Amino acid sequence: MRQIRLIWLVAAFFVMPSIKSNAQQSVIDAINSYGTFDRWCTREVKESGLIGGNVEKLYEFYGNYGSTFTGKTPYKAPEGYLWRTNNVLAIVAGITKTNNTVYPEKRGNGYCARLETKIEVVEVNFMNIDMNVVCQGALMIGNLPEPITTTKDPMSKVLYGVPFNGRPKALQFDYKANVGNEVYRGTGFSKLKPMGYKDYAEVTFILQKIWEEEDGSIHALRVATGIKRFFKNVPEWINGYRLNLHYGDITGEPFYREYMGLKNNPETAYRAKNSKGKTVVIQEDGWAPEGTEPNYMMIHFITSYGKAFYGGVGNTLWLDNVKVIM
């Protein structure tokens, strides 16, 4: 087995204990420092005239608040920034379009993040039609390369997680929530359809032991699990909530729910880029034996837990002071 190679992380991450310790701490510091959501910047992108030609804003939480960039330059993470929203620039068949579902919002003397599930309306002027797309609000540790060039298989566009070999105790954050709204399906290519059920926001914090096979497929054992669904509206801030990590096979634990299990459904499974440069599903083969050292970490917040183009329209999750607790 070959350990998965990610081009933006130094190979020394997995070598000597002292080096691993330093690399581990640098990852934690990067996650925690930007998890205050106090350093937002804005990209302004002019969309194509065929869909209105509006100047739209895309937000990301690095840099200095109020700093603005213009133009269609694809997003590139600055050094030390491991987070990524799903605010994204798309250029499909020559048409420039943006999608923004994560916003800065004032909180006290600083800012928090507001994630929303919403309907993005695309007005096609020359055809006099509107295309309705349901978009989930999300942020994660990982990458979402730009520009998006096709609407096919949207889950394959997002690269989740970072190499990491520590054993954290919990993910801590402040939050409030408005959830449980009716799910709509909106792909943009068919009529907006109510589905007759509700969905909810979710946070995932997991550790894996991953490797790459000779055929380029990526496999994993689940080392530790922390997954929470927000089933209730929380109108006032809950500060310092701790999502504890549970190591090993948790299927026999009283708190276990089916949605905490191994994730292999291609419509919702996580992706990573293999050593050949191809994006593939991370196939979770089982639960890691006790004492297994992880080499990969994922953190993922989303306002609707279902597959792409489905969501409880109006679901909103506010987040602040996200940090990994060692």
Q: Each residue of 26-38: pLDDT tens digit?
A: 899 999 999 999 9
Report which of residues 205 and 126 the model is more confident about: 205
DSSP letter (8 states) at residue 187: B
Cα 84 vs. chain centroid, distance in angstroms?
7
The pLDDT of residue 227 is: 97
The pLDDT of residue 11 is: 38
Residue 156 confidence (pLDDT) above 80:
no
The pLDDT of residue 233 is: 97
Torsion of CA 300, 277, 268, 26, to 10 degrees: -10
Residue range 187-244, pLDDT digits in tens: 877 788 999 999 999 999 999 999 999 999 999 999 999 999 999 999 999 999 999 9
Residue 60 tokens read as 């990301």
CATH of span 11-325: 2.60.120
DSSP 3-state of 34: helix
Do the strands 118-124 and 271-273 form a parallel or antiparallel pair, or are they unpaired?
unpaired
The pLDDT of residue 74 is: 81
Reported as a pLDDT band with limits 50, 70 and 90, residue 127 is low
The pLDDT of residue 13 is: 38
The pLDDT of residue 66 is: 67
Q: Summarize the confidence of residues 140-156 as an average pLDDT.
A: 80
Reported as a pLDDT band with limits 50, 70 and 90, residue 252 is very high
Q: How many Cα atoms are found within 13 Å in the side-chain-facing hemisphere of 303? A: 34
**Alpha-carbon span 167 to 273, nearest angstrom:** 24
Biggest CA-to-CA distance, the chain: 62
Helix (H) or strand (E) holding 32: helix 17-34
Report which of residues 123 and 198 the model is more confident about: 198
Q: Summarize the confidence of residues 69-86 as an average pLDDT.
A: 85
Reported as a pLDDT band with limits 50, 70 and 90, residue 130 is low
Q: Is 22 left (phi over 0), alpha (psi -120 to 50) or beta?
A: alpha
Do 117 and 311 touch, CB atoms closer than 8 A? Answer: yes
Torsion of CA 112, 316, 56, 73, to 10 degrees: 70
Q: Summarize the confidence of residues 251-273 as an average pLDDT.
A: 91
Q: Summarize the confidence of residues 123-144 as an average pLDDT.
A: 80
Residue range 269-281, pLDDT digits in tens: 899 889 999 989 9
* Coarse DSSP helix, strand, coil percentages of the chain, rounded to the nearest 5 percent: 10, 50, 40
Q: Which amino acid is at 67?
A: S
Residues linked to residue 102 through DSSP beta bridges, in sequence order: 115
The reply to whether the predicted model has a pTM over 0.85 is yes
How much is the mean pLDDT over the chain?
A: 87
Do 197 and 183 touch, CB atoms closer than 8 A? Answer: yes
**Alpha-carbon span 28 to 6, nearest angstrom:** 18
As a whole-number percent, the residues of the chain with pLDDT over 70 amount to 91
Do 201 and 305 touch, CB atoms closer than 8 A? Answer: yes
Q: Where are the alpha helices (DSSP H) in 147-260?
A: none
**Alpha-carbon span 57 to 99, nearest angstrom:** 9
Residue 18 confidence (pLDDT) above 80:
no
Altogether, the residues listed in the chain come to a count of 326
Q: Which amino acid is at 30?
A: A
